[in-house]
Structure 1
């Protein structure tokens, strides 16, 4: 696993945006999108690069990682609306190429299977952006999720709902269920790029990067991936035991991969 430690959250977001920019410049045409505070910083930087540096999304197919059950697409906190508001409306991404699971489908189990087929037909995503929850979840794969899981309906833990209440105003407004890509589905992307910032993510980052491979920390499944990059700020890196090693490796990366 490649670990890049940056001074602050803004620099971490610029680093991930640089990785995406490089991937698109090299011909990647399928992109996985996550939501959350840290990925939103990435999208704002990508929008800036589109405006000022010619970064283009024409011909790119983008796939959302997950969606709340019960929120209509236009709800301000639906993940579909967040990704439209923070990225799609600011770049030249074709709306028809933004692929979303529906949290209001009449048959949610069938909808999860449909979205899994959509991902399979697209082939392995070229790059998947990820955040991480304080309990180590990626997507909405809560602790205890099967490492072989596929896109499915999932119940959120109270910890996750409390953490996400900041977006809603009250935990009572946070949906209890989601449709999420599974850990095995996520792992099929060619390049996984996880961003985490802030001291509250430090324990989860350490468990994912340096802890045992375990369903207790779903993000630890990244340890199995042939091309996983973790970008953290100093605060999120504070519990990593091998910080000196990660910094040394980053200094000696080939120039082509110095994000």
Structure 2
């Protein structure tokens, strides 16, 4: 596990974009797992900038999004379909048929989840998975629970997650209570993982992810078992890491 502490959100985003761009230069037909929310937003802006300035090519790239709310139409401004096209896809030369996002309007949710897993496997798995982390330690919408969910599945959102996400909606009643999310096994099968953490509200969750035991109470803690994880955290999110007195022998720290 490599940990990069960035000076700011902008530095975190630029570092993340360079890592994604490096992946595409090495393998132009990479399969990317993508996240939504406020944390990766500037990373997408940086990638768009690289695309326009140095012709970073997305024409062979395949993408799979981590999750999608149930019940929202793709054109709903709060859907992750809308987010991805508005903030990233329409600004780059990605092929529309290479974009995969769970269908939150599917009539048969279990079948949709199975089909999503099948599509990932048909593409040879995910080369680089981008993650954010929730204030409760969730990755994707894998909420704290007594069991780790294995593959793509329907999930009931925690009240804490609903409250945090309410800022994107007109009122809290509009926030969906369910979503489709890649499961922990799906995420862990990615060849490389890039986790981004921004803001002091994520500090406790990030600390537990790295230093505490592996437990479904902090879903992100499972990343301790992955062989190739890079965490890029800005100063606020990393504030508990700098003062940690735990053994760091298995952790690679860097400052940017």
Equivalence for 2:11? 11
TM-score by length of 1: 0.93
Report SS of the residue matched to 1:231. strand
Quote the offset at 1:122 in angstroms: 1.4
Distance (whole Å) between structure 1 residues aligned to residue 72 and residue 124 of structure 2:
28
Is the deviation greater in 138-147 or in 241-250?
241-250
Correspondences of 1:1-259 after superposition (within 5 Å): 1-27=1-27, 29-144=30-145, 146-147=147-148, 149-240=150-241, 241=244, 249-250=253-254
Does the aligned pair in 2 maintain the 1:146–1:183 contact within 8 Å?
no
Post-superposition offset of 1:54 = 1.5
Distance 2:161 2:199 in 1: 16
By how many angstroms is 1:116 displaced?
1.1
User: Which SS does the other structure have where 1:153 is aligned?
Assistant: strand
- Give the deviation of 1:248 after TM superposition: 7.5
Kindly state the Cα deviation for residue 43 of structure 1 after the two structures are TM-superposed: 0.5
**Distance apart, 1:119 and its partner CA:** 1.1
Whole-Å separation in 1 of the counterparts to 2:153 and 2:174: 22
User: Once the 2 structures are TM-superposed, how far is the Cα of residue 209 of structure 1 from its aligned partner?
Assistant: 1.2
Whole-Å Cα distance in 1 between the matches of residues 34 and 127 of structure 2? 11
Q: Which runs of 5+ in 1 are unaligned?
A: 252-258
CA contact (8 A) 1:67 1:79 kept: yes
Partner deviation per Cα, 1:129-186 (whole Å, 9 max, x = no partner): 0000000000000001633511000000110000001111321110000000000111
Q: Which runs of 5+ in 2 are unaligned?
A: none
The corresponding residue for 1:255 is none
The CA deviation at 1:239 is 1.1
Contact 1:151 1:181 in 2 (8 A): yes
Counterpart in the other structure of 1:256: none
Greater helix fraction, Structure 1 or Structure 2 = 1
- Contact (CA 8 Å) 2:5, 2:253: kept in 1 or not? no
Q: How many residues align?
A: 252
Alpha-carbon separation, structure 2, partners of 1:248 and 1:128: 19
RMSD: 1.9
Is the Cα–Cα contact under 8 Å of residues 237 and 243 in structure 1 kept in the other structure?
A: no
1:245 Cα deviation from its structure 2 partner: 6.1
Q: Distance in 2 between matches of 1:140 and 1:19?
A: 24
Closer/same/farther in 2, CA of residues 7 and 104 from structure 1, 3 Å limit = same
